[in-house]
Amino acid sequence: MAYRDSFGGALGAIGVVACLLATSQVHAAEYSRPVTVVSTLSQAAVRPALPAGQNFVRIYVDSAAWGSSSCRQDAADLAKTDSHLIAQVLTALQSGKTIWLFVDDTLRPIDTVCQVTMVQVVEP
C-alpha cells in the first residue's frame, strides 16, 4: 500500500527523498577500520595547558588511513562522557584484540585527530 498524504503523495515523496539525502550527508563523514589499540592518554576535566583536550581520552592505534579522510592515522579522540565506549577500548587494550573504530571527519577536538563515534567488538 502506497503512502498518501493530503497533498496527493507529492509532499510525502519529497519528504522521503529529503530524509535520504540528509542521512547520506550525515554518514558521509564517518569512517571506520579495524585497529589495535596501542595506548591511551586521559586528559583531566581542567587542563590549562591544552583546554581543547579537556574531557577527552586520546586513543593511540596502529597507523593506517581512515578511508579517504584526512584524520590523523595513528590516533583518535574519545569523549569521556562515552564511558561505554571507553570500557570497550580499554578491554581491547588489555586483551590485545582488534576492534573496529568509527570516527567522524567533521569532529576534530584537537588538530587533525578525529573523534570516535562508535566502537565495534567482533569475535574472531
Q: Which domain holds residue 64?
A: 30-120
CB 68 within 8 A of CB 103: no
pLDDT for res 46? 81
Structural domain count, the chain: 1
Residue 66 belongs to a domain:
yes
Residue 6 belongs to a domain:
no
Residue 116 belongs to a domain:
yes
Question: In the chain, which ranges are E strands?
Answer: 30-42, 56-61, 75-79, 98-104, 115-120
Q: Residue 61 maps to which CATH number?
A: 2.40.50
pLDDT for res 67? 95
Nearest one of 68, 66, 53, 67 to 108, comparing CA atoms: 53
Pairing of strands 75-79, 56-61: antiparallel
Predicted confidence pLDDT, tens digits, the chain (124 residues): 443 444 455 444 444 444 444 433 445 589 999 999 999 998 878 888 887 778 899 999 999 999 999 999 999 999 999 999 999 999 999 999 999 999 999 999 989 999 999 999 987 6
Residue 99 belongs to a domain:
yes
Residue 107 belongs to a domain:
yes
Q: Which residues pair with 112 in a beta bridge?
A: none
pLDDT for res 42? 85
